[in-house]
């Protein structure tokens, strides 16, 4: 694995998904207050036609809620339809994301995997903070609904290539196989370690009961690429950090207007809501996708990512004007995650340079 090797970067992908939405807000084709149903009802790409919490059917879910984790949409990984969306083999048809969202978010009998209790919390949209992967997949479908273009194609044309991220893509097969790094599962005495469940169906080799070491995953994929399926690398993520430190512009190319990029790196969620957040991390500020955690220095914004066999992290220090990215082709343990310390050392070194 090198600084140019590509692999799926997990939830750091959400920063690209949010950028696609923010571009449409900047152009006036969307607004943060837009009811998602006003967009979905007119979509020419198949997907849910309406999304409402079954517990609060009269309260709209708005575009801004998707980017700030203020929806009640949950992401139950196992067992369930979200976890089963991962598979080895061919890249899914780009229309599959819309079909999956339709089944998950549309009440029966039309939605095959709809479950009012498992798929939605009882919280009021806009009034409770809980980290949601599927909210970002819905945001990606909103991009499709507005533009009429499949999500991965839109991001390639209007976000990734303009940012100079030429070795990054939501479609795995758009990138050279020769550049591909392989995710690895980590076992101790036959027991999988790390953040993610044991999905041995994604590992092409058998794992003995006494196996200790790393095993390579097959080049798996999912139709739900918007929340964690971007393929990227350390060099491109360094450019991504530069773009955000440049307030939406890199090498003279504007990807986001300055005021929109600045809003993404500013708190958008009231303190009273963050204080009772259901998120797995200690949030102290939530911007549009980017966030700050307890212990962050002033001006630091970040986003971590992980998938089966990968761990990624991007951190921006807007006060010192430096950023850093860490990309790993294995998982890390929740209680022994070295990435933050690695990033702090990189940021300090960059600030001294």
Q: What does the pLDDT look like over 155-178, one tens digit per residue?
A: 999 999 999 999 999 999 999 999
> How would residue 298 be classed by pLDDT, with cut points 50, 70 and 90?
very high
pLDDT of 79 > 80? The answer is no
* Mean pLDDT along residues 40-62: 98
Q: How far is CA 208 from CA 190, 200, 211, 220, in A?
A: 6, 12, 5, 22
Q: Are residues 248 and 105 in the same domain?
A: yes
Going by DSSP bridges, is the β-strand pair 7-8/231-232 parallel, antiparallel, or unpaired?
antiparallel
Estimate to the nearest angstrom the gap between the alpha carbon of 40 and the chain centroid: 21
Query: How many Å is the maximal CA-CA distance in the chain?
Result: 60
State the average pLDDT over residues 262-282. 95
pLDDT given for residue 173 in this prediction: 93
2, part of any domain: no
Task: Tell me, yes or no, whether 1 lies in a domain.
Answer: no
Mean pLDDT of 56-60: 98
Q: Are residues 188 and 295 in the same domain?
A: no
Domain span at residue 205 reads 174-216
Q: List CB contacts of 144: < 8 A, sequence separation 6 or more.
A: 43, 45, 47, 97, 98, 150, 151, 154
Strands 249-250 and 291-293, how do they pair? Answer: unpaired
Residues 208 and 342 grouped into a single domain: no
- E strand spans, 166-282: 184-188, 191-192, 213-216, 231-232, 249-250, 253-254
Instruction: Judge whether 33 lies within some domain.
Output: yes
Q: Residue 119 domain-assigned? A: yes
Residue 329 scores a pLDDT above 60: yes
Model pLDDT, residue 78 = 65
pLDDT at 250: 98
State the pLDDT at residue 183. 96
Q: If you average pLDDT over residues 263-288, what whole number do you get?
A: 95
The Cα 241–Cα 147 span in angstroms is 26
Based on its alpha-carbon atoms, the radius of gyration of the chain, rounded to whole angstroms, reads 19
Judged against a pLDDT cut of 70, whether residue 218 lies above it is answered with yes
Global confidence as pTM:
0.96
Same domain, yes or no: 245 and 265? yes
Domain tally, the chain: 2
Higher pLDDT among residues 197 and 226, named by residue: 226
Give me the pLDDT at residue 75, please.
83
Q: Are residues 135 and 52 in the same domain?
A: yes
Residue 137 counted as domain residue: yes
Do residues 205 and 99 share a domain? no
Name the domain boundary from 160, 194, 216: 216
- Which of 162, 187, 216 delimits the end of a domain? 216
Same domain flag for 137 and 160: yes
- Round to whole Å and give the CA distance between 143 and 251: 26
Same domain, 274 and 156: yes
Average the pLDDT over 290-309 and give the result: 96
Do 266 and 207 share a domain, yes or no? Answer: no
Q: Both 138 and 250 in a single domain?
A: yes
Q: Kindly tell me if the per-residue pLDDT of 84 is higher than 80.
A: no
Cα–Cα distance, 129 to 277 (Å, whole number)? 5
Examine the fold and report which residue of 163, 198, 216 is the final residue of a domain before the chain moves on. 216
Spatial distance between the Cα atoms of 285 and 335, rounded to a whole number of angstroms: 22
Mind listing the pLDDT tens digit for each residue in 89-145?
899 999 999 999 999 999 988 889 999 999 999 999 999 999 999 999 999 999 999
148: domain CATH number is: 3.40.710.10
Q: Which of 63, 226, 102, 90 is nearest to 155 (CA)?
A: 226
Rounded Cα–Cα distance for residues 264 and 319 (Å): 16
Residues 152, 184 share a domain: no
Tell me the pLDDT tens digit for each residue of 21-47. 999 999 999 999 999 999 999 999 999
pLDDT class of 280 with cuts at 50, 70, 90: confident
The CA-atom distances, in angstroms, between 58 and each of 37, 53, 127, 130, 209 are 12, 8, 14, 20, 52
- 182/136 same-domain check: no
- Say if CB 263 and CB 287 are below 8 A apart: yes
Count of beta carbons in the 10 Å neighbourhood of residue 210? 9
> Exposure of 259 by Cβ count < 10 A (0-12 exposed, 13-18 middle, 19+ buried)?
exposed
Question: pLDDT per residue over 102-118, tens digit each?
Answer: 999 999 888 899 999 99
- DSSP string computed for 17-44: HHHHHHHHHHTTS--TT-BHHHHHTT-S
């Amino acid at each position: 694995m090198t600084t140019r090797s590509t692999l799926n970067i997990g939830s750091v992908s959400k920063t690209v998904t949010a950028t696609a939405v923010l571009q449409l807000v900047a152009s006036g084709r969307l607004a943060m207050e837009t009811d998602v149903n006003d967009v979905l009802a007119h979509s020419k790409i198949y997907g849910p036609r309406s999304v409402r919490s079954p517990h609060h059917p009269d309260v709209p879910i708005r575009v801004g809620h998707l980017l700030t984790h203020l929806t009640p949409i949950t992401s139950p990984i196992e067992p369930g339809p979200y976890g089963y969306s991962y598979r080895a083999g061919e890249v899914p048809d780009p229309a599959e994301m819309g079909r999956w969202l339709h089944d998950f978010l549309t009440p029966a009998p039309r939605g095959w995997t709809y479950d009012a209790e498992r798929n939605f919390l009882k919280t009021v949209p806009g009034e409770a903070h809980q980290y949601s992967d599927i909210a970002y997949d819905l945001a990606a479908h909103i991009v499709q609904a507005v533009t009429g273009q499949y999500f991965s194609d839109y991001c390639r044309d209007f976000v990734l290539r303009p940012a100079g991220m030429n070795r990054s893509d939501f479609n795995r097969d758009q990138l050279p196989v020769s550049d591909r790094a392989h995710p690895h599962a980590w076992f101790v005495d036959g027991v999988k370690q790390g953040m993610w469940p044991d999905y041995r169906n994604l590992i092409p080799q058998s794992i003995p009961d006494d196996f200790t070491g790393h095993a390579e995953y097959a080049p798996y994929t999912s139709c739900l690429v918007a929340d964690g399926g971007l393929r990227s690398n350390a060099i491109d993520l360094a450019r991504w950090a530069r773009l955000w430190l440049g307030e939406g512009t890199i090498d003279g190319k504007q990807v986001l207007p300055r005021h929109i990029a600045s809003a993404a790196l500013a708190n958008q969620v009231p303190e009273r809501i963050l204080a009772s957040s259901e998120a797995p991390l200690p949030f102290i500020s939530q911007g549009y996708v980017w966030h700050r955690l307890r212990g962050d220095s002033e001006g630091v914004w970040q986003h971590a990512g992980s998938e089966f066999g990968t761990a990624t992290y991007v951190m921006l220090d807007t006060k010192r004007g430096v950023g850093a990215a860490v990309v790993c082709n294995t998982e890390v343990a929740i209680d022994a995650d070295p990435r933050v310390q690695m990033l702090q050392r990189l940021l300090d070194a960059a600030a001294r340079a």
